[in-house]
Structure 1
Amino acid sequence: MGIGMVLVIEGLVYALAPQLVERLLEALREMSLEQRRLLGGLTLVTGLIVLWLARGGLF
């Protein structure tokens, strides 16, 4: 279910805003390796928090 949702969201981004994807990729190329690792880690933690909250972790 989760992988399917990721694919739907990715597909929407590519279908609706392909130029945005190109700009994001250019921005990533300009970032240092350490900045990209930090961004990946923050994204991972944010995703885990969202999943925890969705499963009723807070309420």
Structure 2
Amino acid sequence: MQDDVLWLALAFMLMFEGLFPLLLPARWREVFLELTRLPDHRIRLFGFISVAGGLLLYWISSN
């Protein structure tokens, strides 16, 4: 059962990640270029927030 949930979560993540470049490819490219101009510490902060948010959601949903 747990493996099914993991694959389902991965499938939803891929669908969500693909929506922006599918629907607005030019804007997605602009946003991506802006992200490449950010300093490393800002990118790390966004990564930390994303990981912490995912862990929080996992913790909430597992209780």
TM-score of Structure 1 vs Structure 2, range by shorter chain = 0.7 to 0.9
Identity fraction in percent: 23
User: Deviations 1:14-42 (Å, cap 9, x if unpaired)?
Assistant: 21121232122111111111111111111
Unaligned 5+ segments in structure 1 are none
SS state at 1:10 partner: helix
User: As a proportion of its length, which structure holds more helix?
Assistant: 2
| Stretches (4+) displaced over 3 A | none
What's the RMSD between the two structures over aligned residues?
A: 1.6
Number of positions where the alignment pairs a residue of Structure 1 with one of Structure 2: 56
**TM-score for both structures, normalised by structure 2:** 0.70
1:21 matched residue in structure 2: 28
